[in-house]
Amino acid sequence: MFSSWTSPSGGLVWHMRALHRRRHWNHFLLPVGDWLDTWHPASTGLLLIGPSAGWCIPDSFLGRFSQIHALDIDPLAGKIFRVLHRKIIAGRRVQLTWQEGDLFEQLEDLLCKYPDHAVLFCNVLGQHGLHQRVAELLTRDFESLTSLLRGRVWASFHDRLSGGRNEADPIPGQFLLSKGLDTQTLVQRVAREGQWIDHLTQGVFPENTARLMIPWGIRPGVLHWVEAGFIG
């Protein structure tokens, strides 16, 4: 498994992109923040999985927790996270601990170590295909993840589809789904033209989970459809 600052799903390239492009991402950052505002786990502890430097995660959300433990494979992420979110960390509103590692190897131990923490997957599950290229193994990883999370309070926002976008067109609107939508139907609904990448996250949530579909014009000419939902 990849573990370096040049990881295909994060690392230096991601941090540089986020630094330069974040000012163009309000159409994505605001709905993510609003959606996080609707999630109210009872716990004051949070496991943040794959948060990178938290470029897309507002302080107003993080500040609701007194203890946060984060896990990311990117060795740069923790250092930049502490700078970006210094207001809440330095003010000791939030006690942050950080772990560098792979969620598919280390989550089970973390769930045991922090039995009462809520869990947030931060746009990480849709990146797994960049690390695990064998579709059957990827599906198996997601199945083990879902069974590990049984009984826990957790949430995730993750890529479902990504593809091209005509810059002259406006960013499409977000929409709510009361339950799962298979990828083929989703493609027909949102991605009429061009080639789209399936991030193979269709089965992450149990079927009856309501979810918000948020478009993200991540860079010129590229659009991601991000699925956001919570369990508990």
Ligand X SMILES: C[S@@+](CC[C@H](N)C(=O)[O-])C[C@H]1O[C@@H](n2cnc3c(N)ncnc32)[C@H](O)[C@@H]1O
Among 68, 103, 186, 226, binds ligand X (CB under 6 A): 103
For residue 85, count CB atoms less than 10 angstroms from its CB and return exposed for 0-12, middle for 13-18, buried for 19 or more: buried
* Residue nearest ligand X (C-beta atom): 10
The H or E element that residue 88 is part of is helix 86-90
CB of 200 to ligand X, least distance (A): 14
Residues in contact with ligand X, shown as a per-residue x/- string from 138 to 167 under the rule CB under 6 A: ------------------------------
The H or E element that residue 162 is part of is strand 154-164
Residues in contact with ligand X, shown as a per-residue x/- string from 19 to 58 under the rule CB under 6 A: -------------------------------xxxxxxxx-
Q: How far apart are the first and last CA of the chain?
A: 31
DSSP assignment string, 8-49: TTSHHHHHHHHHHHGGG-HHHHHHHHHHHHT---S-SEEEEE
Which residues from 63-102 bind ligand X, rule CB under 6 A? 71-74, 77, 102
Q: Which residues bind ligand X (CB under 6 A)?
A: 7, 9-10, 14, 18, 50-57, 71-74, 77, 102-104, 122-124, 127, 131
